[in-house]
């Protein structure tokens, strides 16, 4: 798959693409990333890419023409036909919140063109003409779309085969369908006792059935506490069995008990 990133700050991506476990996806070509600076498609000696907003107000707005020319060059480089073009994604506060289902979809796609806005945003005419979908990371505002683009790329890259050390690792991630969309359970490692805090006994029992039940209960308890909407979603989907429901009922009656 291929992702083309339109950004005024391509240098921000260099350490991201060459660091950490997900670099395997980029180095191997499983996830190809090309960076494009719209300033290279601007006119004049100063290569201006922004201007003041019509109607007044603070801040600057990214101009439509450099962005459109940049996108046209990307289309040419991708050798796309007019009927088969990669979708254009803009990172914006008005977009749909990025979630696991969306990431899983992108991880199985042919890629997209990612537009990283800056300043007060983009000229709406470019958005109306070229943007297919807008994505948000949450109810807050960043200085630009680069961090959001990296978040999407990282989430997509780690789902590619051979990227993680353990192929099944991402199956145990929070929100994964393999966990019925629940949050993941707590994890522990050596030493068994750290500053007076011990690893839960059930994890040391060697009884795999008991361990898995403990982990399931922990996932249910954590999700019920932090994201009860996910528990209800799992319930409506028929993912909770009688043991799950009994545990949750007991949890609601005695919320402070040790799961």
pLDDT given at position 175:
83
Per-residue H/E/C for 138-202: CCCCCCECHHHHHHHHHHHHCCCCCCCCCCCHHHHCCCCHHHCCCCCCCCCCCCCEECCEECCHH
Beta bridge partners of 115: 6, 90
Average pLDDT over residues 74-101: 95
Average pLDDT over residues 28-38: 97
What CA–CA distance (Å, rounded) separates 116 from 145?
4
What CA–CA distance (Å, rounded) separates 114 from 117?
10
219 is catalytic: no
- Across 42-46, 82-86, 185-189, the highest mean pLDDT is recorded for 185-189
> How do 2-6 and 197-198 pair as beta strands?
unpaired
The two tokens of residue 203 are: 């994890």
Question: What are the residue boundaries of the structural domains of the chain, listed by start?
Answer: 2-157, 174-253
Q: What is the pLDDT of residues 210-240, one digit of tens each?
A: 999 999 999 999 999 999 999 999 999 999 9
Residue 259 has pLDDT above 60, yes or no: no
Tally the C-alpha atoms within 13 A of residue 165's C-alpha that lie toward its C-beta: 2
Residue 115 has pLDDT above 80, yes or no: yes
Tally the C-alpha atoms within 13 A of residue 219's C-alpha that lie toward its C-beta: 24
Reported as a pLDDT band with limits 50, 70 and 90, residue 120 is very high
158 is catalytic: yes
Residue 78 has pLDDT above 70, yes or no: yes
177 is catalytic: no
Query: Which has more pLDDT, 176 or 223?
Result: 223
Residue 228: count of CB within 10 angstroms of its CB:
11
Q: What is the pLDDT of residues 145-173, one digit of tens each?
A: 999 999 999 999 999 998 986 666 676 77
What CA–CA distance (Å, rounded) separates 161 from 159?
7
Burial class (CB in 10 A: 0-12, 13-18, 19+), 145: buried
For residue 81, cis peptide bond before it (omega within 30 degrees of 0) = no
Query: Which of the following is catalytic: 93, 200, 213, 235?
Result: 93
> How do 88-97 and 111-115 pair as beta strands?
parallel
Average pLDDT over residues 51-55: 96
What is the model's pTM?
0.91
Average pLDDT over residues 34-43: 97
Query: Which of the following is catalytic: 78, 173, 200, 235?
Result: 173
Query: Which of the following is catalytic: 118, 158, 215, 219?
Result: 158
Residue 258: count of CB within 10 angstroms of its CB:
6
Reported as a pLDDT band with limits 50, 70 and 90, residue 83 is confident
Query: Which of the following is catalytic: 65, 120, 154, 184?
Result: 120
> How do 50-52 and 197-198 pair as beta strands?
unpaired
**Sequence-ordered list of residues with C-beta below 8 angstroms from that of 45, at least 6 positions apart, any chain:** none
Query: pLDDT over 70 for what percent of the chain?
Result: 96
Residue 79 has pLDDT above 60, yes or no: yes
Fold annotation for 2-157: Alpha/beta knot (3.40.1280)
Taking the domain 174-253, which CATH number applies? 1.10.1270.20
**Sequence-ordered list of residues with C-beta below 8 angstroms from that of 164, at least 6 positions apart, any chain:** 21, 158, 170
Helix axis angle, 242-253 to 208-226, nearest 10°: 50
Displacement of CA 65 from its chain's centroid (Å): 29
Burial class (CB in 10 A: 0-12, 13-18, 19+), 70: buried
166 is catalytic: no
């Amino acid at each position: 798959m291929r992702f083309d990133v339109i950004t005024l700050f391509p240098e921000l991506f260099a350490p991201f693409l060459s660091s950490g476990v997900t670099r395997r996806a980029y180095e191997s070509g499983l996830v190809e990333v090309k960076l494009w600076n719209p300033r290279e498609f601007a006119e004049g000696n100063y290569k201006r890419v922004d201007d003041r907003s019509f109607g007044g107000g603070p801040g600057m707005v990214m101009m439509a023409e450099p962005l459109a020319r940049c996108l046209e060059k990307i289309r040419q480089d991708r050798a796309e036909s007019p009927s088969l073009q990669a979708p254009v994604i803009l990172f914006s506060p008005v977009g749909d919140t990025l979630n696991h289902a969306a990431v899983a979809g992108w991880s199985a796609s042919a890629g997209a063109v990612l537009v990283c806005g800056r300043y007060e945003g983009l000229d709406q005419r470019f958005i109306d003409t070229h943007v297919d979908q807008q994505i948000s990371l949450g109810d807050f505002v960043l200085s630009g779309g680069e961090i959001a683009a990296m978040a999407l790329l990282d989430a997509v890259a780690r789902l590619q085969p051979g990227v993680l050390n353990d192929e099944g690792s991402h199956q145990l991630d929070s929100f994964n369908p393999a966990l019925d969309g629940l949050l993941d359970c707590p994890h522990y490692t050596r030493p068994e006792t750290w500053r007076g805090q011990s690893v839960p006994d059930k994890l040391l029992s060697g009884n795999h059935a008991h361990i898995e039940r403990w982990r399931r209960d922990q996932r249910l308890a954590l999700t019920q506490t932090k994201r009860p909407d996910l528990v209800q979603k799992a319930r409506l989907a028929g993912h909770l069995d009688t043991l799950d429901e009994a545990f949750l009922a007991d949890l609601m009656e005695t919320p402070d008990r040790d799961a």
